[in-house]
A and B are shown apart, each in its own frame.
Chain A
Amino acid sequence: MSVRVGKTAAALAFPVAAKEALGNAQLRRNVHHATDVIRNKRALRVEEMPDWQQLRDTASEIKQHTLAHLDYYLEEFARNCERAGGKVHWARDADEANAIAVKIIHDFAGEAAQEVIKVKTMTSDEVQMNVALEAAGITPIETDLADMIVQMGHDEPSHIVVPALHKNRVEIRDIFRVEMNLPELTEQPEELTAAARRYLRERFLRTKIGISGANFLIADTGAVCVVESEGNGRMCVTLPEMLITLVGIEKVIPKSQDLEVFLQLLPRSATGERMNPYNSLWAGVTAGDGPREFHVILLDNGRTRLLEDELERETLQCIRCGACLNACPVYRETGGLAYGSIYSGPIGAILSPQLQSLEHSRSLPYASTLCGACYEVCPVKINIPEVLIHLRGRLVREDQKTMGGKLGMENLAMQAVAMSFMSARRYEAAQRLARMGQKLFEHDGELRNLPGLAGGWTKFRDLKAIPKQSFREWWRSEGRS
């Protein structure tokens, strides 16, 4: 099995990529503006809910229960989906999911070149399905506005819910002008929308195959649920003759009634809307109504491994609302591309490395101040800071097994500090040593240009020199002990 998550294997370490992003003033303005807008809208829609905390508790309980019995609910879903006329496929990893999708398309329409229309699915970006489809002569057309912008701009998604959040209207206009051949287009939202609509309608009507993701799989009915704001999803799941839904196995919930909880939490958390404009629910196929052939690909791609540990398992409760991205002060400065994964922000920082057994995205668990803003807004109460700390522990333990890690500057510093914290005598000796050493770097009571790890501090900030007398020394000199 080979677990892949987007292009994480080739990604730069977060501090390096983040530095680059910080240098892009336009990107930062776009991200500041967009996250502020969504965050404020969310806050309004959450404040008006008297039972918000109970809803969060309930959602978390439903997810915990489902994940503890995931095999049971997945099999129940598969049975009910097939009973309703759908076909269920199980994919262990990215390659398997892509191979299944290509085979379904070839079986349905032959191997000649063809097009598919797609509704926003992060899971498809996770397995890089577009790359696999193109290699098989199949042209994927993204129909979610933001995904379309990303696809046309040969860009990467920077947000789970709003993939083109890093682009502003003028940049989008420029992409449309070239890709849609509309040299006169202005950046008026109405004009941009109309251009996208014309472009998409044509493709909705002529394309025979659709690919979607899913927000929820409902075990007791075998139904699939997709929520969206633009109506493109509704078109993609109803107009084509054949539909493939690719979905991570953690998206299953036990029963239809559970939607009552999630459909309140998700739109308010994601976009600050009371409900999504389009909520599509379907089970299998219905003669004379919608696609005549329907396939669900259930994707593992590293997920089952997260089930083994109770804390890691929490990660799979995620309903991909993106609230943690909008709340995160780190994401706010860097945007999503710096994370090097299609799953960015706080949830990306725990999900991306875990799916890949910490083989890639190893710098992401450190891309957080542990400020807790993500946990505060999470509608399913994933304790992201706690999972981050847990993953840091795993990374340190792995590093300490290697000679390079053991002798690394950070490990040595941490060991030395731990030693000095263990006795007052050693601590005071270390203090005296530091007081002598700091003379080299001291100017007017401030430390500048410190060496090693501390250089990261003094590159941007001043640091008051350690005073000549410590509190304890003063206390003793006053004759109190």
Chain B
Amino acid sequence: MHYNTGYHREAVPLVRRFVQMFRDAECICVPSASCVAMMREHYELIAKQKNDAALLADVHALLPRVFEFSELLTERLKAEDVGASFAHSVTYHPSCHSLRMLNIREGPLKLLRAVRGLELRDLPEKEQCCGFGGTFAVKNADVSAAMLEAKEACVINTGAEVATALDNSCLMQIYGGLHRAGSAVRTMHIAEILASTEGGT
């Protein structure tokens, strides 16, 4: 949030702290694509700008162990069926950072298709941004709301009961709009669906 809004100086200690906290972790699973994008796209740059060779070395050591949640399942663990059951219709919003920065495309869909009882519905104009954009949502609230309206209409058009994504921030935006509009569509992070054993055997 700090870095993307221009608070670059303030972001440096946060980067240092993250790297330090997870230094000894064998594998770092992050349930947010935009957080992973921040690490992969900017941590190295931040260390270089600070001329901090130690931090740079730490970042280089850390990054190969960082996985977005669905990536960990499909790329690292080669899993598709995680044994979940969820008897609802679901539509998947490929969040911008998962799609364009992490290049995550098929993985989450494979995971969702393997969930028992789940009916996956294709989201029209799915690659369009939901309008969240971090502080954009409040700095340019009117434009953000207009973009959200378009996304909401697409979600509602699918007739799905649940909208899911790899980013809770986008889901917070989509939920906020849907709920304000009186829609009954729920939003759930993909991990919540994959953890569900609802109606399963």
Q: Which residues of A contact B (CB under 8 A)?
A: 14-15, 18-19, 22, 329-330, 333-334, 365-373, 375-376, 386, 389, 391-397, 410, 414-415, 417-418, 421-422, 446, 453-457, 459-464
Contact = CB atoms under 8 A, between A and B. Distances in A.
Given A372-B97, A395-B6, A334 B143 contact: yes
Interface-centre pick from A15, A333, A397, A417 (highest chain B CB count, 10 A)? A333
Contacts of B110: none
Interface stretch (B67-75, B115-123, B172-180): B172-180
Contacts of B17: 421-422
Contact of A333 (B5, B134, B138, B146): B146
B129 A373 contact: yes
7 contacts: A366-B140, A373-B127, A394-B6, A414-B10, A415-B10, A418-B13, A421-B17
A14 B139 CA distance: 10
Nearest to B174: A461
Interface string B123-134: 000011101111
Categorize the interface residue count of chain B.
35 or more
Interface string B35-76: 000000100000000000000000000000000000000000
Contacts of A414: 2, 5, 7, 10
Contact of A19 (B132, B133, B142, B172): B142
A210 B41 CA distance: 47
Interface of B: 1-11, 13-14, 17, 41, 96-97, 100-101, 127-129, 131-148, 150, 172-173, 175-177, 179-180
A376 B129 CA distance: 13
Given A369-B136, A371-B96, A456-B137, A461 B177 contact: yes
Given A329-B129, A393-B6, A414-B7, A369 B147 contact: yes
Given A15-B143, A366-B140, A417-B1, A463 B172 contact: yes
Contacts of B135: 366, 410
Contact of B175 (A415, A454, A464): A464
Q: Which 9 A-B pairs have the closest CB atoms?
A: A369-B133, A461-B176, A392-B6, A456-B138, A456-B141, A396-B6, A371-B129, A460-B145, A372-B100
Given A333-B146, A370-B133, A371-B96, A14 B2 contact: no
Contacts of B140: 14-15, 18, 330, 366-367
B18 to A, nearest CB: 9
B132 A369 contact: yes
Contacts of A18: 140, 142-143
A15 B5 CA distance: 16
Contacts of B127: 373
A373 B131 CA distance: 13
B69 to A, nearest CB: 15
A273 to B, nearest CB: 23
Contact of A418 (B10, B101, B134): B10
Contacts of B141: 15, 456-457, 459-460
Contacts of B13: 418, 422
A376 B173 CA distance: 23
A417 B176 CA distance: 22
Contact of A375 (B7, B100, B138, B180): B100
B147 A392 contact: no
A384 B41 CA distance: 14
Contacts of B179: 446, 461-462
